[in-house]
Amino acid sequence: GAGVSQSPRYKVAKRGQDVALRCDPISGHVSLFWYQQALGQGPEFLTYFQNEAQLDKSGLPSDRFFAERPEGSVSTLKIQRTQQEDSAVYLCASSLAGREYEQYFGPGTRLTVT
């Protein structure tokens, strides 16, 4: 399909481990967003890219969270020294230029920190 894809779909990490979550946006979508969705809650914004530029990272909860999109397509969200409170579903969304408000979401990566 031509939708947003994310990998892995599930990740179990021991506390203190580093993890990397990948997002492949819809082809041609220059804008890319990361959200964190805790169990039973709505998605919470983490960061936003336009092409390779990270224009907004105000939602990243700590300096353990880092995102990149070096070539303006695939993006990686990295979490260092994972903590139990990082357990959540991490959603990636993409959109066309000029229509950032119309976001198409991937299936998410469910991260469980034990």
Partner 1 sequence: QQQVKQSPQSLIVQKGGISIINCAYENTAFDYFPWYQQFPGKGPALLIAIRPDVSEKKEGRFTISFNKSAKQFSLHIMDSQPGDSATYFCAASDRGSTLGRLYFGRGTQLTVWP
Chain residues binding partner 1 by CB under 8 A are 4, 31, 33, 35, 40-45, 48, 50, 55-56, 59, 91, 93, 95, 100-108
* Contact partners, residue 112, CB within 8 Å, separation at least 6: 10, 11, 12, 13, 87
Nearer to partner 1, 17 or 51 (CB): 51
Q: Are 83 and 113 in contact (CB under 8 A)?
A: yes
Nearer to partner 1, 14 or 58 (CB): 58
Let me know how long the chain is.
114
- CA dist., res. 49 & res. 78, Å (int): 15
User: Considering the complex, what minimum distance in angstroms separates the CB of residue 39 from partner 1?
Assistant: 11
Nearer to partner 1, 42 or 70 (CB): 42
User: Considering the complex, what minimum distance in angstroms separates the CB of residue 84 from partner 1?
Assistant: 21
User: Considering the complex, what minimum distance in angstroms separates the CB of residue 102 from partner 1?
Assistant: 7
- CA dist., res. 110 & res. 8, Å (int): 8
